[in-house]
Amino acid sequence: MKLFFINQFVLFFMCFVLIDQVAAIDFYSFKDETMRERYLYLVKELRCPKCQNQNIADSNSPISIDLRQQVYTQLEAGNSDQQIINYMVERYGQFIIYRPSVEGKTLVLWFAPLAFIIIGFICVVFVARRPVDRDFADMKNTQRSQRLNELLNEEEQRK
């Protein structure tokens, strides 16, 4: 009897999961295979403004559904891929594309990683090339040993 209820729960849960997956499928008819490939390319290149780390092809958010419809409408209107991307950038900003153009506002995005790598390399070189003062380290260890011996001698004298 307990197994029956577990199976019912699993079946019920899977129905909801499958319904959610079916809801993400868009049914568009294309004039030719090239237009379909362009559509798939564009929806994978555009980022969902709500989900942030998903493209609009993978996202189930309402805005992604609207954006996919907009891409399809613009493809049907005969717009080029670049025109569609420019339209989306004008409307949603550089955030909507995964590879923003190199311009004044986005220079940090493009060159900050390179700058961090160069700075890290310079720091490693300076640390590795810094001369180690072994005499100072040995002198410090000698001083510590002498002080420890003095403290031990004082402790023995008290007993």
Alpha carbon 126 to chain centroid distance?
Answer: 31
Is 36:26 a contact under the CB 8 Å cutoff? Answer: no
Domain ranges of the chain: 13-101, 102-159
Going by C-alpha positions, the residue among 83, 46, 72 that lies closest to residue 61 is 46
Model confidence at 142: pLDDT above 60: yes
For domain 13-101, give the CATH number. 1.10.8.640
- pLDDT digits 0-9 by tens, 81-140: 999 999 999 998 888 888 777 777 777 877 889 999 999 999 999 888 877 666 556 666
